[in-house]
């Protein structure tokens, strides 16, 4: 079975802090994705990566950056957290154009 893990289930940070969210997959998938989920807005793609050191902006990349130094790990970085980044963050991976598999999610609160 594909396993996607995320570093924290719940996280509370202060405004202005630098925040790292980490995602690891164990199935040698090429593609990895970061989404945020907000009530009434569904899941929106922040960034994705189709290879090591490669990244593409999704629909809402502002205020975020990503890093993929190893194939199995994809990090989402909030350079200076703001209250409007309070959300559920979901990581996913896929093998080329096939189905996506999701991690358990990180519920981030910025105060």
Residue 107 sits in the site that holds another protein (CB under 8 A): yes
- Distance CA(93)–CA(31), nearest Å, equals 5
Mention every residue, 6+ apart, whose C-beta is less than 8 A from residue 76.
20, 21, 22, 23, 34, 46, 47, 64, 65, 66, 89, 91
Tell the smallest beta-carbon distance from residue 88 to another protein (Å): 6
- Distance CA(18)–CA(25), nearest Å, equals 23
Residues 32-71 that bind another protein (CB under 8 A): 33, 35, 37, 40-45, 48, 50, 56, 58
Residue 16 sits in the site that holds another protein (CB under 8 A): no
Residue 27, phi-psi category: left (phi > 0), alpha (psi -120 to 50), beta (remainder): alpha
β-strand partners of 42? 38
Tell the smallest beta-carbon distance from residue 2 to another protein (Å): 9
Residue 25 sits in the site that holds another protein (CB under 8 A): no
Q: Which of 17, 80, 104, 111 binds another protein (CB under 8 A)?
A: 104
Tell the smallest beta-carbon distance from residue 108 to another protein (Å): 12
Q: List residues binding another protein (CB under 8 A).
A: 31, 33, 35, 37, 40-45, 48, 50, 56, 58, 88, 90, 92, 94, 96-102, 104-105, 107
């Amino acid at each position: 079975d594909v396993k996607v893990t995320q570093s924290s289930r719940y996280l509370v940070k202060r405004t202005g802090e630098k925040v790292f969210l980490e995602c690891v997959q164990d199935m040698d998938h090429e593609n990895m994705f970061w989404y945020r989920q907000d009530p009434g807005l569904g899941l929106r793609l922040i960034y994705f990566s189709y290879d090591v050191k490669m990244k593409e902006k999704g629909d809402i990349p502002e205020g975020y950056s990503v890093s993929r130094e190893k194939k199995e790990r994809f990090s989402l970085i909030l350079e200076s957290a703001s209250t409007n980044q309070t959300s559920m963050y979901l990581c996913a991976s896929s093998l080329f154009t096939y189905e996506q598999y999701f991690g358990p999610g990180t519920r981030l609160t910025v105060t």
